[in-house]
Every structure is written in structure tokens, then in C-alpha cells.
Structure 1
Amino acid sequence: TFASDIYSVGILMWEISSGQPPFVNCEHNYDLAMKIVNGMRPKIVSGTPSEYKKLMEQCWDADLTKRP
């Protein structure tokens, strides 16, 4: 869906800013998937520019209507 594509853009933005895949220290299983569905997001890297951070957070907002 369009909303899931926008979520993916936010995750790609996080990967670019962090230089690593999201949830690299977590086992990629059902439990992680459910945590993500329930709002878990990667921790934003310190020093990330505020406008970049704001857009990234909007892209992965749990409320689909708040995504750009």
C-alpha cells in the first residue's frame, strides 16, 4: 500500500542516518514483528538533523493519516 511504502521510506532514512539495518540486535521473528506493529521504532541516532528526524518520524507514524 501507499502507507507501507511511506513507512519504508522512513526506515530507509533511518538506515542512511545510522549506517546499519534497523533492529540489528534483535532476532527477526514474530515477536519483533508484533513489537513493530505495536509502535516499536528504531532509536534515532544522536545528532540527526531535526528536520530529517521530523520527516522520518512522520513516515513511520502509527497513524497512517499523519504520514506524508
Structure 2
Amino acid sequence: IYSIAILMWEISSGYSPFIDYEHDDYELAMNIINGMRPEIMSDIPLEYKNLMVQCWDADPL
């Protein structure tokens, strides 16, 4: 479900997530596991934002 949230983020922002974050793959993966998420754009609809946040939650249900 996390990947759906990231796809939603890419669609709403027009960018790849973490593009400005210098990292190696392991470091990024560990940061994501520990809760790092891309910043949500302020101009997206509330329902879209809520669904995206729920999808990338560690326990999405």
C-alpha cells in the first residue's frame, strides 16, 4: 500500500520523492521504515491527502 501512496504523491507533486535527499539505498530504506515521508503539497484536496497518509502509514488499516 505504501507504493500506492508514493504514486499518489508523485501525481500530486509532479516530482520523484526524495529527489533532493542525498542518500544510499540502505539509508533511505531505513529512514522510510522509521517513518520518513515526502512533504505533502499544501494545495491538494483534503480527501486525497488523507487517503495518501493512510496508505503510507506503517499500519494502513
Same fold (TM over 0.5): yes
Query: Any stretches of 5+ residues in structure 1 without a counterpart?
Result: 1-5
Cα RMSD over matched residues? 1.1
Give the letter for the 2:8 counterpart.
M
**Matching of residues 9-48 of structure 1 within 5 Å:** 9-29=4-24, 30-48=26-44
Q: Which runs of 4+ in 1 moved over 4 A?
A: none
TM-score calculated relative to the size of structure 1: 0.81
Tell me how far apart the structure 1 counterparts of residues 23 and 10 of structure 2 sit (CA, whole Å).
Answer: 16
Decide which structure has greater helix share. 1
Identity of aligned residues (%): 67
